[in-house]
Amino acid sequence: MKPEAFLNVMARIAGFWFTLIGFGFGAWSLYFVLHPDDPRRITPDGSDGLVMNTQVTVIAVLIGAALLSVRTYRPDLGDSRSLCGANGPARAARGPLRMGGGGGRGVLVVEKGDEAALGEAPSG
């Protein structure tokens, strides 16, 4: 397995687990809202468990959502390892990210005048 593929898979797995754990802490927070007299609500150090669980929920879900929404690194489509995102013409040929459509397949949107980049003649 190539390192790029491994990192893409690990980012998705980590995003899934962060989101799942965040929702678990959210369920525990909801339990404390529904049962305010539960003695487990106050932790041994005296802090409120509801506040702590809510903070962990927000942080974990945000990290998970960020990891799940990151576009995959695809060097075969012209992506580079640039941290500032300036990949030049090779990146522009990949086209913008489009969600949905295409029967579950990715859809490459080609702007007018870019047909030459694909090696095809315009159809209309």
Question: Residue for token digits 């942080």?
Answer: 59
Q: Are residues 62 and 85 in the same domain?
A: no
Establish if 124 belongs to a structural domain: no
Instruction: Name the DSSP class of 35.
Output: -
Q: Are residues 62 and 84 in the same domain?
A: no
Give the per-residue pLDDT at 34.
92
* Domain with 110 in it: 80-118
Instruction: State the pTM of this model.
Output: 0.58
Q: Are residues 65 and 84 in the same domain?
A: no
Q: Are residues 7 and 62 in the same domain?
A: yes
Give the per-residue pLDDT at 58.
96
Establish if 74 belongs to a structural domain: no
Domain count, the chain: 2
Q: Are residues 58 and 8 in the same domain?
A: yes
Please give the average pLDDT of every successive group of 10 residues along the chain, which has 124 residues: 79 94 94 87 82 93 92 69 52 51 50 55 52
Give the per-residue pLDDT at 26.
94
